[in-house]
Amino acid sequence: MRPRHLRRRGALAAAATTLAVLCAGQTLAAPRAAAAPVSTADQEVRTSTASEVHATQDTAARAIAAALTDPAWRQRVRQAALTSDEVAVTALADGDLRTTLAAADRRIAAAKGLAPDVGPLLRLRLGDPSMRGALTAGTQPWVAAATSDDGPVTAYDSRGRTHTLDAREAPARPVYVVDIDGSRALAAGLDVLHEELALRGVRSADPAPEPERARASAAAAGFWTTRVTAVSLSDDQEPWIKGDAEIYTLVTGFGHDGKVRVDPVDMPYLDNDGTVYRPQQILVNWSSYKYDLADAVMMEEDGATNYRDLAKAIAAVLLTVTDQGAYVPLVNAVLDAIPDDWWTDDPDYVDSWYTLARTDNGTRHGAPHTGVNLGHPQ
C-alpha cells in the first residue's frame, strides 16, 4: 500500500465535544486491490492536465500584472481585493484583458474535464491578511499564480519582471494571487465524476445536496442515514499562496445488486483550519447499500484534477471487486486506484474511515488517527 501522507492539505481533527462510539463496526482486513496498469498515454494526459492548468494560471497572472500600469484598473483591483476575500477577476476586467482571462477560463475548464458552460473559474485574492496595510498605503502589488506547493513562488510586477518569493513566509509586499474558484470547480467536478462513474458501470448517487435540504429529504423519505455532526480541520501548514480547502468525500460500499457503488459527498462548508463546523450533513444514505457497512475516503480538490480521468481510474479498480457474501472494506481499493503521481499534489488525500456501521454514533477515527463526529442515525 502506498504511503498515506506524501502531502496533506489539512488533517481532520476531532471536535471538542465527542460521543462514545456505540458500535465500531467490523474489523475485516482490507485486501490490497490490484491497481490498473498506467499506460504512457494516461500518464501524459494527467501531466498535460496539471501543466495546462498551471501554465494558464501563470499566463493570467502575467496579464493581470501587466495591466496594473493602468491607474484605473489598478485602483479597481485594489478596492475589490480589500473588500472581498475572492474577486471574480474575469468579470472585473474589460477590453483585451477580459478577452484573455475569458479564454483562460475556458482552457482551465477543458483541462479539468468540465463542461464549457461551468462559468468563470479564475479568482484573484490578496495573498495574506498581513498585506492589507501595505496595499491600502499604495504599495505596488505583484501578481502570482497559486501553483506552488512547497517550492518558491514566482511573482510578476507590472513591468513583466519576475520575483522569487518564499512559499512558507508571506512577503511584506502585497501579492495578488490568481487561483481557481475551488467551490465552483468542485461542484461541477463531482457532477462529472458521478456521470462518468455511471457510464463506466459504477453506481453513483448525485453529490449530496445542501445540509438543510438533505435533512428535509431524509425526514420526508424516512430512510436511515449517518450524519456528520461536527468536524474541523487542524493546522494545515500550507503555503500562504494556497487558498481555502475544498473538501469532498467518496462513500463506497456494495449496492443491493452486489456491485460496488461510489457516492460523492460535497463538503463546501469545510474551508478553514481551526474552525469547528456542525453541518448535520448526511454522509451515508443506508438505503442505497446492501450491507450496514460502508467506507469513506475524504479528498481535496487541488486545482489540477481532471474529474473524467479520476472517474476512469477509480472505476477501473472497483469494477474488479466482487461481492463475496460478506462486507469487504473498499478504502484501499479507492486509494490504490489513484495513480502514484497524483499524490504529489492533486487530488489530495485527507483521511479515510474503514467500515462505518449504520449503528455508529460519536467519534470515528480515521487511518491517520484523526476523527469526525457522527450523529445518531436517522
If one counts every other C-beta atom within 10 angstroms of the C-beta of residue 62, the result is 18
Residues 311, 316, 317, 321, CA torsion sign: positive
Average confidence score pLDDT of the chain: 78
Is residue 251 within 8 Å of residue 210, measured between CB atoms? no
Is residue 180 within 8 Å of residue 121, measured between CB atoms? yes
Tell me the pLDDT band of 125, cut-offs 50, 70 and 90: very high
Question: What integer pLDDT is reported at residue 120 of this predicted model?
Answer: 93
Question: What integer pLDDT is reported at residue 345 of this predicted model?
Answer: 52
pTM: 0.78
What is the rounded CA–CA span in Å between residue 186 and residue 194?
12
Question: What integer pLDDT is reported at residue 130 of this predicted model?
Answer: 94
pLDDT digit string, tens, across residues 18-51: 222 222 222 222 333 333 444 444 444 445 777 8
Strands (E) located in the chain? 12-13, 122-126, 142-145, 153-156, 162-165, 175-180, 225-233, 247-254, 260-267, 276-277, 281-285, 293-300, 348-357, 362-365, 371-374
- Per the model's pLDDT, the better-predicted residue between 225 and 84 turns out to be 84
pLDDT digit string, tens, across residues 220-243: 556 688 888 888 776 555 678 887
| H or E stretch covering 271 | none
pLDDT digit string, tens, across residues 129-175: 999 999 999 999 999 998 766 678 999 999 999 999 988 889 999 99
> What's the whole-number mean pLDDT along residues 109-135?
93
pLDDT digit string, tens, across residues 302-357: 666 788 888 888 898 888 888 888 888 888 888 887 766 555 554 577 888 888 88
State phi, psi for 364 to the nearest 5 degrees: -110, 125
